[in-house]
Each structure stands twice: as structure tokens, then as C-alpha cells.
A and B are shown apart, each in its own frame.
Chain A
């Protein structure tokens, strides 16, 4: 046996031992009925062709390697941003386990979230009892200040009515009558995680502002000087929201961050377990109705929420994940215009430093071709930044970007001399991207962790920006918004460019004549 207790091999090395190699070979030969190597190679090569790409893009029913997640994931993301709030997912508990592990793998933090654990009988008779018991148990066990209810497909398919169920549960004494239980229907078969975020945010503001599902009077808006801020579904929420607060504080802006999950996903290791940490207080969430304006960093994450808020008389302004000099300029100027506060000297200097950094490194990015995939707003932000750097975002793909997004994205590409020959692909998946990368190769790929397969298959180096990032740690702690955030993105892109130059020049006595210390 290759394994022995004095030197236990891990999986990296164990299965490379001759015994295992032989075993795998025999298994393949005797049981797997493998195709001939030449046939395998032929098909592999065929998948790289223009002909295959055509067939791939003609695909109708099948999604392969989607670059999106489900509504309930976004629902949980939004809900944990409120003070001592527990997301309660009405439906099957297996789904909830996915959301928790998904977030924990990305943020390296536990994510508290409960389920009404519907089973077969609930599917037949309805999930009312699960709601009644579930709310009572959650309330008693975890002592949250608020329970934010969303759904999984299971509850949606049988048509459970959350409003009625919660009302009944309150009547049955699961939670006190005046207790806050905002809710949102979030079926996974509609939209994506960004839709779920939108629905929960709308559910929460509607709950607080419009009379808590008929249990309290509607709030009368008395406009004040504050602004509300929605970050949208954002893998960099920890770094970004802290940066946004720093920016607002430096401009003396009065603000309410709606759904501030930056602390709950970044708790210190100091001996205390925090099931909840930070978050928008329920008072602030309610008071937010009085704000003079509401800002969303991600238009496609807040379509319904903003529409609702607009009916309250707020000025609403939506951005597309502003990234880079121009994006941040527009964001700050909007804040300045709305609040009447000047953009601080501190920020002006940061802007100058970012421009300086871009100028310093411009030659290395200029003219490089990129493929980008991700959420619709992130794609717009990243592509705009690349255009600003003189790079060419050749393929911009968003699985959860619709026709409107595609038109907008294409418009941005067409408006820049660097966007010539660049295309936006809405509603496409990573298998489409694979064809794009083979038939129209680019220099770098920007995307989440799942892009590593594309990196491996197509040889396009992956720059990890997006959600989820499972295989690299702690990037979520860095902002990508603001001038400082753009600086981070610039550095990540440059790091990969230089790594690639080094990688291509590091073969001893072959290519190392260009393995230089100065780049």
C-alpha cells in the first residue's frame, strides 16, 4: 500500500502512486468502455471549431455551466444585512444548506439562515404548519429582531401565500402580532439571485413603510437630508460598503445603507460567536422613507425596489456597478448634486492617484483583449473600466442579463473606439463562452471561480473578479468601488498580466532571457 501512517499522502499525491494509476487504468480498460483516444481527441478538437460554436449558440433548451444563481440566494444576501435579522426560507431545507455553504465558501464566515423544512406531506397539503412551527421555533431559538421570509421553488409551485400564512402564524402565536416579518416570493424559476435581492429589498421597505402588512399605519414621508443606499448583490460587499461609508463620511453625507451585510460577513475571531453583527437597524430601515433620494449601485439588482421607492417621492438614481475613474466620477457627482455636499479634497486626490496609476501602467493593458462574464451590472462596470484603460472587452457575457442589458452593454461598447468588434451576450452561459474563447481568442478572462475550467480548457488566464470566488481567499474584503476600489481592480488585472509574462518566460535556458525583474 502506498499509504502508511508515518507519511499520510493527501489526495494531491496519493492517487499518483503506481498502485492507483494501475487501478484507474484497469478500471478504464475493463469497465468504462472508453472511446478510442483518437476519437476523443477528434471530438475535443471539434468543440473548438466555428462549426461547433454555431451549433452551441443554436442551443435552446439546455443550459451548460450557468453564470448565475437562484433568487433565494439573493434573498438571503439581502436579509442578513438588517440588524439581528434571520433569513427564513419557506420551502425545502436542502436549498437553504446550499445558500449557507455558498456564502460561507465565498466570505469564509458562517451564514445564519433557517428553513421551514417542508417535506412531502407539506407539498401535498400546503406548508402552513411548517410556517407556523418554523416561525415559532426560529423566534424562540435564535431571538432575532426580525425574521425575513422568502421562498424556494417548492413553496412557490404549490402556491403558498406568504402574507396569509404569516398572518395566520401570528394569530396562532408563533411570533408577537407587532413583530416584524417582512416577506418576498422568490421562486428560482424566475430571474436569478439579483431578482431575489430585489424582491427581498422591496419586501422589507414595503413592510416598514406601508404599514407592516396592515398591522400598523403607513408611514407619512417627511423629507429630510438623508440618502438611502443600495449596494445590490455584490461579492465585494464587505470591502465595498465600508469604502462607501468612508466616501460618504468624507463628504459629510447623511446616509442609510440599506442591507448592510459588511459586518455579519466579517466578524472578528475574539472568542465570541456572533450570529448577527452590524446591519441596518430596523429603525433606520423605517426612517429611510423620509430620505430625499435613494441610490442604487446596481440597476438590475433593484428594478422593483426603486420603482416602489419612487412612488414615495424619492429621487432615485441607479448606477451599473460604477467602476473606474469615469464611473466613480459620475457616482460622486450624483451624490454631491443630490446632497449639496462638495466632493472632498481627499477624494479628489484619490482620483488623481488613480489616474496616475493608470498612466503608469497603461502600456501593459492597452490593446489587450478581455472576455468578461458576471452579473449584468458588474459586466457593465468592468467593461467600462477596461475601455477606459484602452483594453478591449471582446466578449461580455451575462447569464442573467436580458435583452435590455444586452442593448445597453452593446451601446457602451459601440461608443468607444476600443469597443470595436466587441460583443455583449445576454442570457448565455459559460459553455457559450467556451466556444467564444476558442473561436475568437482573447488575452484574459475575467469572471468568478467557475472560470477556472475555461482557463484550463482554453488557456485563457482567469482574473478572478465576481461572485462566487471559492478558490481564492479574502478578495471580498477589498473594495472595487470608489477610486481606491478601481485601484484594486487595476492591480488584480496587472498582477495577472505580469504573472503571465513571467510564466511565458520562465523556462530555464529556453525563454528565460526575458525573465526580467523590471516590468
Chain B
């Protein structure tokens, strides 16, 4: 456990994060996420965070060492798309039992790794630690090392048992695992001055594919995407990229920063949500590449593509602007950067009445202020009850959030649109923006809301419908901490 404790302390010290650096040593030791409050609803655990960060690597076997709970509840539950192998969607677990808990589960884990290699022969096996084996002292690092030596195959321990903290910490610990064991272990067949990494992008609903054609057109090669639609070898040789774009800042900042440190790969924080953000990101990639030696004409070509795509995107949004103008949106996001969505929605004519900043950095918050004005309504940590009240008081027309808070919205008779990982539409890039606007339009104008907001017609006093005691939301409905 000592090494894990050290690792966590290491992760808590993030020079790439202003907020982190602004803290005293003592504060920093506590970590960047609020301490979980016993008795209150909570988001996912560190294991879950680690799993979702790496699960999009498609061609490896993700083996969860633990009782059935961890993998049983989570296998294949993300919409990260693969253009090749589907192996990452197969649920592998050691499914440990009482005997293992008493006598230790290391042998079982070793055998499980062997069986996976015998039967599936993946380029690597990722082994995830969970609470129970961590508590009984299974040394998965040692098992992985032994297995790797015996089978001559990378076996990567991902040491992020659930109890160490929240999901976000798990994201980072997963990042540490690939920094320690994967990145830099292979070499690409060739390199170009146009090789980039995209870090913290998971290709949910195939979003990356909406942007990739633009990269292809510009001749920019996504050497590695960590971890959406990634192959093991791509992650392994990602250290040869010329520049990185970091998409989900809080999840994988340690990966981007340490890659800069170790391999001299400059990175920037960007987003493909929203028209202008997409343009900015493309520009920034071009700029960094040119800085690292790519021909300067790349910028001209980039600007040409941006001009063309922006014009197309505006045109496709135009028909909706009249219908969406003045619609009040409450934005509760987790992983995706809220300011980038704010900008996107403003482009569609929406008014943002509030946005969550739970996972946003200080910088993010500044950007929100820039977009929404100084008195921007930033919600640090909204309880389901507050969210419900806000919606119910009709201070918003629609809520955009992750799947787990959808029911708060629905019970408050409010339209709701999924913008987190379980959604079924891709909102990234120029085309994605048009898709988002289309989906907001559909959600707002679905006839069920009118139906839902009306009391049953025989309820003589419609006002009574709105003064019923509020449903108990606090306990079972966990506020998304994606």
C-alpha cells in the first residue's frame, strides 16, 4: 500500500494545475476532490475512474481482479466506439470467492491472466485492482510482473482500488499506470512532423470520428488517442508525437504534463465541443506542430478548413436559432468541459442559466465568466434537491446533464438531454454541434413535456400539482460525478 499511497500523493501534486499549485502542502495532501461525505449520495469510485479511462483501449483484455460486483456492474457500460477490435467489451473478471478472500486471490489472478493469453492472445492484459483484493493484500503488481515475464507479454497493473477515492482520482491513477508501464515501450514504424496525441478523449458515440476527417484532410496524424479507439501499440508509442491536445483536463492532466516532462511533447487544453472551440483547437494543434518543426504552410491550410467548416456549421444551425433563441439551459456536466459547451449553446442562441463547475479548473471558471459574464451562475456542487427545485421553479427550460441526473429533470417535468458518456449522439466537431442543436430542439419540443407539465385534467386545481411534497431525491439519486 505504501507505493499506492505515494502514488496518490504524487498525483495530488500536479504542477500542471494552477488550482493545485495554489494550495498549501497540507491542503494538497488531501487531494483535489472534496472528501466524500458519509451518508450522502456519491459518484463513482476510483476503480470505476480507472476502468473508464483505459477501457476504450480496444484490443487489450481488461481483467478486473475482484468479486463479481466490480466488473459485473460495469462491463461494457460505456459508449466508447472501436473501429477494430471488440475485445475491450468482453467482461473479464477473476470473480473471486470466499475462499480466495481467506487464502488470497493471487493464484487465481495469475491463472486468469494465463487463460486470457491462451484463449485470446491480446497484445496486453490490463489488470485492475479492486477493494477486496487490495484489502486482503493481493500484490497485483507482483503477479503482473511474474505473468509478464512468464508469458512474455505486457501485463499492466492498474492499481486504483475503489476505496482510495473518487472517480477522478481513478482517472489519474489509470494515467499513471500507462505512464509507468505502457507509454514509451514501443516505437512507431515511422514518424512525421504531423504526429499528435489526443489525451482524455474516449470516442464516445464515435465522436472522434467526426473530427478525424479534418485531421486527415490537413495531413495531421493522430499517432495516439488516449484512450478512445486506441490500440495498445498506439498508446505504447505515443511518446513519439510532436504535440498533444488534452481534451478532458481533469482526467488526464498528469499524462499530458508528464509526457511533456519526459518526452518534450508540448500540450494544450482544448475542446471539440462548439464551433469556435473546434476552430481554436485546430489552430492550436497547427501552431504547436509548426513550433516543433512542421512547415508553416500548415496554418494556412488549417485556416482554410476552419473557414469552410465554420460556414457550413453556422448554416446548419441557422434554421434552429429561431426556435432555440432565449431558451434557458441548465448545464450539469461532469467530464466534458463546461465552458466549451456553454460557448456551443450560446452559438445556438440559448441562454445558460447555470453551469456546473464541479470538476472545472480555475482556468475553466475564468473562461465561463468570460462567456457568461461576471455574475455567471456557477454551481459548484448541486444536490439533486437543489437541482430539482431549480428546474421545478421553471428557472430553466431544459437540463443538459449526464445520465444519472436525468431523472431529477424528468420528475421535475423538464426536458433533458444526455451530454455525458451514455448518450447516443456524437456532439463533437462542427457536425456534432449541429447534432447537439438538433437534439436540444427535439427535446424541447417533444410533446410529452406539455403533457407532463399539465396536471391530470380532472385535478380541479392545477396549482396543487405543483405544491405536492417533493419526492425524496437525495438518497437514491446520485448526482452524476462523471
A residues touching B (Cβ–Cβ < 8 Å)? 325-326, 329, 332-333, 336, 342-343, 348, 351-352, 355-356, 358-360, 362-363, 366-367, 387-390, 417-418, 508-509, 512-514, 516-519
Interface CB pairs A-B, < 8 A, 6: A329-B458, A359-B410, A359-B413, A363-B424, A390-B445, A509-B86
> Are the C-beta atoms of A388 and B451 separated by less than 8 Å?
yes
- The number of chain B residues with a CB under 8 A from chain A is 28
> Are the C-beta atoms of A356 and B77 separated by less than 8 Å?
no
In the complex the two chains form, what is the Cα distance from A329 to B448 in whole Å? 14
> Taking CB as reference atom, which chain A residue is nearest B203?
A513
In the complex the two chains form, what is the Cα distance from A414 to B458 in whole Å? 27
Residues of A within 8 A of B446 (CB): 362-363, 366, 390
Residues of A within 8 A of B76 (CB): 516-517
> Are the C-beta atoms of A360 and B77 separated by less than 8 Å?
no
In the complex the two chains form, what is the Cα distance from A359 to B81 in whole Å? 27
Partner of B448, one of A342, A355, A517: A355
In the complex the two chains form, what is the Cα distance from A518 to B410 in whole Å? 19
Residues of A within 8 A of B82 (CB): 513
Query: Is B422 engaged at the interface, CB distance under 8 Å to the other chain?
Result: yes
- Contact A514 to B81, CB < 8 A, known contacts A343-B456, A388-B447, A390-B447: yes
Measured between C-beta atoms, what is the minimum distance from A463 to chain B in Å? 19
In the complex the two chains form, what is the Cα distance from A177 to B82 in whole Å? 80
> Taking CB as reference atom, which chain B residue is nearest A514?
B81
In the complex the two chains form, what is the Cα distance from A35 to B413 in whole Å? 61
Residues of B within 8 A of A390 (CB): 442, 445-448
Measured between C-beta atoms, what is the minimum distance from A337 to chain B in Å? 9
> Are the C-beta atoms of B452 and A342 separated by less than 8 Å?
no
Partner of A513, one of B81, B410, B422: B81
> Are the C-beta atoms of A333 and B457 separated by less than 8 Å?
yes
Residues of B within 8 A of A513 (CB): 81-83, 86, 206
1/0 per residue, CB under 8 A from A, across B426-465: the answer is 0000000000000100110111110110001111000000
> Are the C-beta atoms of B206 and A358 separated by less than 8 Å?
no
Partner of A518, one of B79, B206, B445, B451: B79
In the complex the two chains form, what is the Cα distance from A336 to B451 in whole Å? 20
In the complex the two chains form, what is the Cα distance from A332 to B457 in whole Å? 10
A355, A358, A387, A389 — most chain B CB neighbours (10 Å):
A355
In the complex the two chains form, what is the Cα distance from A355 to B413 in whole Å? 9
> Are the C-beta atoms of B77 and A343 separated by less than 8 Å?
no
Q: Which of B373-416 contact A (CB under 8 A)?
A: 410-411, 413
Measured between C-beta atoms, what is the minimum distance from A47 to chain B in Å? 34
In the complex the two chains form, what is the Cα distance from A325 to B458 in whole Å? 13
Measured between C-beta atoms, what is the minimum distance from A293 to chain B in Å? 18
> Are the C-beta atoms of B456 and A351 separated by less than 8 Å?
yes
> Taking CB as reference atom, which chain B residue is nearest A388?
B447
1/0 per residue, CB under 8 A from A, across B231-260: the answer is 000000000000000000000000000000
> Are the C-beta atoms of B442 and A342 separated by less than 8 Å?
no
In the complex the two chains form, what is the Cα distance from A418 to B445 in whole Å? 10
> Taking CB as reference atom, which chain A residue is nearest B81?
A513
> Are the C-beta atoms of B79 and A516 separated by less than 8 Å?
yes
Measured between C-beta atoms, what is the minimum distance from B206 to chain A in Å? 7
In the complex the two chains form, what is the Cα distance from A203 to B440 in whole Å? 55
Measured between C-beta atoms, what is the minimum distance from B108 to chain A in Å? 26
Residues of B within 8 A of A356 (CB): 410-411, 452
In the complex the two chains form, what is the Cα distance from A358 to B448 in whole Å? 7
In the complex the two chains form, what is the Cα distance from A359 to B79 in whole Å? 22
In the complex the two chains form, what is the Cα distance from A442 to B422 in whole Å? 27
> Taking CB as reference atom, which chain A residue is nearest B460?
A342
> Taking CB as reference atom, which chain B residue is nearest A518?
B422
- Contact A387 to B447, CB < 8 A, known contacts A518-B422, A519-B424: yes
In the complex the two chains form, what is the Cα distance from A249 to B295 in whole Å? 81
> Taking CB as reference atom, which chain A residue is nearest B411?
A356
> Taking CB as reference atom, which chain A residue is nearest B449?
A359
> Are the C-beta atoms of A363 and B77 separated by less than 8 Å?
no
1/0 per residue, CB under 8 A from A, across B153-174: the answer is 0000000000000000000000
> Are the C-beta atoms of B206 and A329 separated by less than 8 Å?
no
In the complex the two chains form, what is the Cα distance from A512 to B445 in whole Å? 32
